[in-house]
Structure 1
């Protein structure tokens, strides 16, 4: 049981890291790890509380991920084309279909792809504006989408740390005997 506990803590650590990185699983790994622990060790009151908090954090971070990019983009006047372009660019960057960056790999590909996709989406949608005005709006929208998404990821990361700490506080005394 002790080995499983430590393996699940490592999975939760990966979940915390994933919560800070756009498009990577984060809190979902934490919820799964707590559910596995509950299934194996029994759903005691402490485990149920930790799992409930993790599920609530999962729901909140899902909403934050969506709303952060949406609100940030709308504040600077982004169109749906810019937002769709950001999502397409993020996927292409993650999968490596954009030119390789010298450092960072897929993580920077996500950010660069989102920015490029939002810029292209705005350029295609705002044909009524002159080229310099379209470029300025495209840059503004692409930066707003990336910055607001990163802020959302920071919030999700902090919440995933809280969910993991709640699990540790709730289960540590049952797994690790007190040292006298």
Structure 2
């Protein structure tokens, strides 16, 4: 039973990483691991608190993901074109650098793609390079702050799981 428990904790740690790194599963992976633990235990009563906390974290993560980029964009004066450019840049950066740089390429693409995409999108809208750069940086900073908040929320969900289930497994 302990092997299954620690295996699921490792899956949850990958979920924490996924909460911080875009395009990887985060809080949903943690939630799935908790549900698997409930199935293994044949009782969801023992995991009701972590299940509720993780469900709330998942909903908050979705909200933070949306709001952080939006607030960062608005603070920097970005238009919808900059936000669309950042999204397209994320996809192109992830997929475009995947074959070119198999080690670190997708991660580098996920960092640089939104910045360049936001700058290009904003420049197409306002035709001012300084404004475009400011908007691109604002969108990326907002997104990074949002990802860090999501990571903290994911850590809290895993901590609640371990705190509530550890005594069941190791007593």
Normalising TM by the smaller chain, what interval? over 0.9
- Check conservation: 2:98, 2:105, Cα contact below 8 A: no
CA distance in 2, matches of 1:80, 1:90: 15
The match for 2:85 is 85
- Check conservation: 1:69, 1:148, Cα contact below 8 A: yes
TM-score between the two structures when normalised by the length of structure 1: 0.88
Q: The residue matched to 2:25 in structure 1 has which SS?
A: coil
User: 1:146 pairs with 135, 140, 149, which one?
Assistant: 140
CA distance in 2, matches of 1:173, 1:8: 16
- Corresponding position: 1:95 with 2:128: no
Question: Size of the alignment, in residue pairs?
Answer: 171
* 1:22 positional shift: 2.1
Q: 1:63-106 CA deviation, whole Å, 9 max, x = no partner?
A: 001110011101111111110010000011111258957x8421
- Corresponding position: 1:45 with 2:28: no
Higher-Rg member (1/2): 1
Q: The residue matched to 1:43 in structure 2 has which SS?
A: coil
Unaligned runs of 5+ in 1: 128-133
CA distance in 2, matches of 1:39, 1:99: 39
* 1:46 positional shift: 3.5
* 1:18 positional shift: 1.3
Change (3 A) 1:45 1:98: closer
Give structure 1 regions of 4+ aligned residues with deviation exceeding 2 angstroms. 42-46, 96-101
User: 1:172 pairs with 157, 166, 171, which one?
Assistant: 166
* 1:107 positional shift: 1.4
User: What is the RMSD computed on CA atoms of the aligned residues?
Assistant: 1.9
- Corresponding position: 1:61 with 2:61: yes
